[in-house]
Amino acid sequence: MSRTVFTSMGTVISLLTPGPPPAAQVLAAVEREFHDRDRRFSLYRADSEVSALARGELQLTAVSPEFRSTLHRATGWEDATHGSFRTRSPNGVLDLSGLVKAEAMEAAGNRLLTAGAGHWLLNAGGDVLVSGRNGTMAWTVGIVDPLDRTALITSVQLGEPWPALATSGVAERGEHIWGPPGHADFLQVSVLGPDIVTADVLATAIMAGGRRALEASVSGGNIDALCITRDDQLLITPRLRAQVTAPSGSWNAGAGRRSVPEAS
């Protein structure tokens, strides 16, 4: 197993491959997908386009084509989720961070596939995108318990039809997700989807929009979700329930701690 690690966007990013790592130029291109977006969209960088917009030094009509493309995609998701996924913070500042990391993962994955790398796992701050298999086995990843970061809720296998897993929650960064008032139903939401952008956006949207957003998101049938409510119950879509495994020390530890109703 080969492992390549770097930092970008304020998080750790790792690439696992069952055999030798991709060529150095491919790894450099993967890193560039993250660093370029960080330079363009980070509100923590004074030299980014989004920071210049926030200061009024740059107008939307003058942003780069790459910025315009991401903004268009984000507003499309805002419309599709009826505002559960948002492109502006409560103070009105344009903030596309809910999409940018997933776009970087998507682009990095395409770089790997174009270079002929067919078997890999890309992890960016707990969001995961895979291709192929881990040797003879499917890629298996754990979902961390938000109330005990040393324990897993469960593990899931990634691949077709769901190669992507994204998790959104309050355990590590606190209450950082904005949404409609009165809909903060969940401590953590994990979404398995057909691509990392869909999984990441909908994990954020469900966190922000609560049970109503969960029902709307899963009704189309193209995702599965595992949600932990603020009263410490577990909601799992039926198809996902059929394949999850509970490792030792996870939700069954502490008998009666969780009830496990289904998410419709």
Domain that holds residue 61: 2-241
58 falls within a domain: yes
According to the model, what pLDDT value does residue 60 have? Answer: 95
39 falls within a domain: yes
Helix and strand numbers (H, E) in the chain are: 6, 10
pLDDT digits (tens, 9 = 90+) for 58-116: 999 999 999 999 999 999 999 999 999 999 998 999 999 999 999 999 999 999 999 99
Mean pLDDT, range 202-223, rounded to an integer:
93
Q: Locate all alpha helices (DSSP H) within 63-172, ordered by sequence.
A: 65-80, 97-114
HSE-up of residue 180 (Cα within 13 Å, Cβ side): 15
30 falls within a domain: yes
175 falls within a domain: yes
* DSSP for 164-228, written as a single string: EEEEEESTTT-S----STT---EEEEEEEESSHHHHHHHHHHHHHHHHHHHHHHHTTSS-EEEEE
pLDDT digits (tens, 9 = 90+) for 214-226: 999 999 889 999 9
119 falls within a domain: yes
Instruction: List the CATH number of the domain containing 69.
Output: 3.10.520.10
Mean pLDDT of all residues belonging to the chain: 89
d(Cα 169, Cα 189) in Å, to the nearest integer? Answer: 6
250 falls within a domain: no
56 falls within a domain: yes
252 falls within a domain: no
Helix (H, G, I), strand (E, B) or coil at 183: coil
pLDDT digits (tens, 9 = 90+) for 222-247: 999 999 998 888 999 988 988 775 54
According to the model, what pLDDT value does residue 117 have? Answer: 97
Provide the domain count of the chain: 1
